[in-house]
Amino acid sequence: LLKKLEKLHDEIELAGGWSIDAKVRKVAQQLNLELDAKFATLSGGVKRRALLARAIVSEPDLLLLDEPTNHLDIVQIQWLESYLENFPGSVIFISHDRRFVERLARRVVEIDRGQLLSWHGSYQNYLKRQQKLLLEQEEQFKLEDKKLASEEAWIRKGIKARRTRDQGRVRALQKLRETRRARRSKMGDVNINVDSELISGKRVFEVEGLSYQYSDQTPLIKNFSCEVCRGDKIAIVGANGCGKSTLVKLLLKELPPSSGRIHQGTKIQLAYFDQLQQQLDENMTLLDFVGEGRTQIEVAGTQRHIMGYLQDFLFSPQAVRSPIKVLSGGERNRLILAKILSKPANLLVLDEPTNDLDIET
C-alpha cells in the first residue's frame, strides 16, 4: 500500500497536481473570475473568460484561441499578451484585435475568397505583402477582362469561329469565361453613415453627486459629477465589473440612481449599441429586424430601399431573409449597427462596439 501511495504521489507531482490549485487561483484572479460561482449562471462574457482560464491552466502543447480578447479589459489583455509571449507551446488564434495580432503573430494565415494564404513574419509585413498581391491581382484581372472582351467580340462574328482551325480559340474563350465566373470579388467595406435631423442642446448630460449600489454591496459609483457637451467623444475605461455599463444605463435612465441627479439635455436623438445584444430576437429575419415593417429608410437625407441599405453592411439579398440565429457574432454586431444607424441620431452610446467585428468594419 505504501508503495502504491508513493507511486501515486510521484505521478501527481509529475503532472503538476500539487500546484494546480495555486495555478487556478492565479489565473482566476487575473481574469476576474469568482471560483465559487456556478458556470450555468454566468453571463456570456464571463463564461468565455472561464473557458479561457481552463485552457490556460491545463498547460497544453497547443492553444487554439477564438477571439480571446473579447470581454477582457485592458489590463487582462496585457496580461494575456505577456502570458502568450512566454508560452512554451504553439498558439493558433483568431483575432480582429490589431494590436494583439501585431504583438504576438509571427505568421499570419489569411482566408480570402476561398483560398488559404500563409504569410511568414509580422502583421505589418503581412499588410504590405497583401497590398502588393492585391495590386498584382487587379492588374491580372484587367488583362483577363480585356482579353475576354476582345474574344467575345470575335465570337460574335460567327462564321470564322465555326471553322475547324478556330475551334482551339473557341475552347480558349470558354476557359476565359469559366475563369471570369469563378473569380470572387474582394469583400467590400461597410458603408456607415450617421444621420441627424436635429442638433442637440449644448449640454447633453449634467450629472451631480451620482451614486449607485446593488442592495448592500459596496457602491459601484460614488458621488460622481460630470458634464457632457455636444461634440464630446468620451471613452469609459476600467476593469471588468467596475460599473462601466451600469454608468451608461444610469445616464440613459434605464436604472434609477441610489442618490444624485442626472439631467438629459434637449433634442436628444439616441442610438444605443448594447454589448449584451438584448435587442435581438433570434427568430426574426434580418429584414424584419432592421426594417420594422419599412421598405424604405432615409439615410443622410436620401431615401434608400432597406435591401440596398443592408448591403452597405455586407448582407447579401439572400442573407437578409435568413433568421438572426444563423449569424456569427461579428455579423450580429454589424446587424445591430445597421439597426441603430437606420434612424437619425445625434448621440451615440456604444458599449463594446468592436467585439467580434472584423478589422475592416
pLDDT in tens, 52-70: 899 888 888 999 998 898 8
Q: H or E stretch including 284?
A: none
Task: Based on the fold, state whether residues 269 and 177 are members of the same structural domain.
Answer: no
**pTM, entire model:** 0.67
Report how many domains make up the chain: 3
Q: Is residue 212 part of a domain?
A: yes
Q: What is the pLDDT of residue 215?
A: 76
171-185, 204-218, 296-310, range with the lowest pLDDT: 171-185
Segment 218-240 mean pLDDT: 89
pLDDT at 290: 87
Q: Residue 58 sits in a domain of what CATH number?
A: 3.40.50.300
Residues 207 and 345 in one domain: yes
Whether residues 149 and 227 share a domain: the answer is no
Is 248 found in the same domain as 215? yes
In a domain, 196, yes or no: no
What is the arithmetic mean of pLDDT over 238-250?
Answer: 85
Q: Identify which of 231, 219, 232 has the alpha carbon closest to the alpha carbon of residue 260.
A: 219
Question: What is the C-alpha to C-alpha distance for residues 258 and 215, in angstroms, rounded to an integer?
Answer: 10
Is residue 359 situated within a structural domain?
Answer: no
Residues 172 and 207 in one domain: no
The rounded distance, in Å, linking the Cα atoms of 308 and 155 is 36
- Say whether both 213 and 315 belong to one domain: yes
**What residues make up the domain containing 149?**
123-182
Flag whether pLDDT at 178 surpasses 70.
Answer: yes
The pLDDT of residue 340 is 84
Instruction: For residues 52 and 47, give the distance between their C-alpha atoms in angstroms, rounded to a whole number.
Output: 9
> Would residue 193 count as lying in a domain?
no
Domain check: are 97 and 128 in the same one? no
- Check whether 193 has a pLDDT greater than 80: no
**pLDDT tens digits, residue range 253-307?**
989 999 999 999 999 888 888 765 566 788 888 888 888 888 888 777 778 888 8
Q: How far is 296 from 128, CA to CA, in rounded Å?
A: 41
The residue with greater pLDDT, 359 or 43, is 359
- What is the model's pLDDT at position 141? 80
Residue 190 resides in a domain: no
Looking at the structure, do residues 268 and 231 belong to the same domain, yes or no?
yes
Mean pLDDT of 146-168: 70
Q: Are the CB atoms for 267 and 242 separated by under 8 Å? A: no
Task: Give yes or no for a contact between 200 and 346, defined as CB atoms under 8 angstroms apart.
Answer: yes
252 and 223, same structural domain?
Answer: yes
Region 325-346: what's the mean pLDDT?
A: 85
pLDDT(159) > 60: no
Q: What is the pLDDT of residues 1-14, one digit of tens each?
A: 777 777 776 676 66
Answer whether residue 355 is part of any domain: no
| pLDDT at residue 206 in the model | 94
Structural domain contains residue 223: yes
Across 176-196, b (16+ Cβ under 10 Å) vs e yields beeeeeeeeeeeeeeeeeebb
Q: Are residues 246 and 292 in the same domain?
A: yes
Model pLDDT, residue 204: 92
Residue 227: band (very low, low, confident or very high) from pLDDT cuts 50, 70, 90: very high
Answer whether residue 110 is part of any domain: no
Q: Round the average pLDDT of the chain to a whole number and report it.
A: 83
pLDDT at 224 over 90: yes
**Predicted confidence band at 22 (pLDDT cuts at 50, 70, 90)?**
confident
Strands 270-273 and 107-112: unpaired
- Domain finish residue from 104, 138, 167: 104
Q: Based on the fold, state whether residues 172 and 270 are members of the same structural domain.
A: no
Decide which of 266 and 172 is more confident: 266
- Are residues 91 and 127 part of one domain? no
